[in-house]
Amino acid sequence: SQQGEEDPQALSIQEGENATMNCSYKTSINNLQWYRQNSGRGLVHLILIRSNEREKHSGRLRVTLDTSKKSSSLLITASRAADTASYFCATDGTHTGANSKLTFGKGITLSVRP
């Protein structure tokens, strides 16, 4: 079953605008990660936010985490055509012991129009 559920499923914006994508999850986590994927290629790691963090920045990216609502958001400011891609949130699905795996949502397709 999908742990992370992104919202919206698709987003189309004009270059220069901000893009906000949301992710909700079901169980407690240690961290949440956001990835980008360009047209069937590999996943590019964007940012990791730990469960004890509320906000994190990396360049034009801003990620927030609200563990009480089990949700995260990814904000891309001043979007560019090159930001066109699919974006995934992934959680580590905490379990006891050393085992862990990333559980991904179905992804958000972002289109940035030039």
Partner 1 sequence: KAGVTQTPRYLIKTRGQQVTLSCSPISGHRSVSWYQQTPGQGLQFLFEYFSETQRNKGNFPGRFSGRQFSNSRSEMNVSTLELGDSALYLCASSLEVWVRMNTEAFFGQGTRLTVV
Residues at the contact surface with partner 1, assessed by CB under 8 A: 2, 30-31, 33, 35, 40-45, 48, 50, 88, 90, 92, 94-95, 97-107
Q: How far apart are CA 22 and CA 44, in angstroms?
A: 18
Beta bridge partners of 13: 112
Which pair of structure tokens corresponds to residue 40?
A: 């069937």
Please give the helix or strand (H or E) that residue 76 lies within, else none.
strand 71-76
CB 15 within 8 A of CB 5: no
In the bound complex, what is the minimum distance in angstroms from residue 87's beta carbon to partner 1? 12
Which pair of structure tokens corresponds to residue 48?
A: 């990791």
What is the residue type of 102?
Answer: L
Nearer to partner 1, 48 or 75 (CB): 48
Please give the helix or strand (H or E) that residue 111 lies within, else none.
strand 108-113
Nearer to partner 1, 76 or 89 (CB): 89
In the bound complex, what is the minimum distance in angstroms from residue 16's beta carbon to partner 1? 29
Nearer to partner 1, 13 or 102 (CB): 102
In the bound complex, what is the minimum distance in angstroms from residue 44's beta carbon to partner 1? 7
Nearer to partner 1, 54 or 101 (CB): 101
In the bound complex, what is the minimum distance in angstroms from residue 70's beta carbon to partner 1? 18
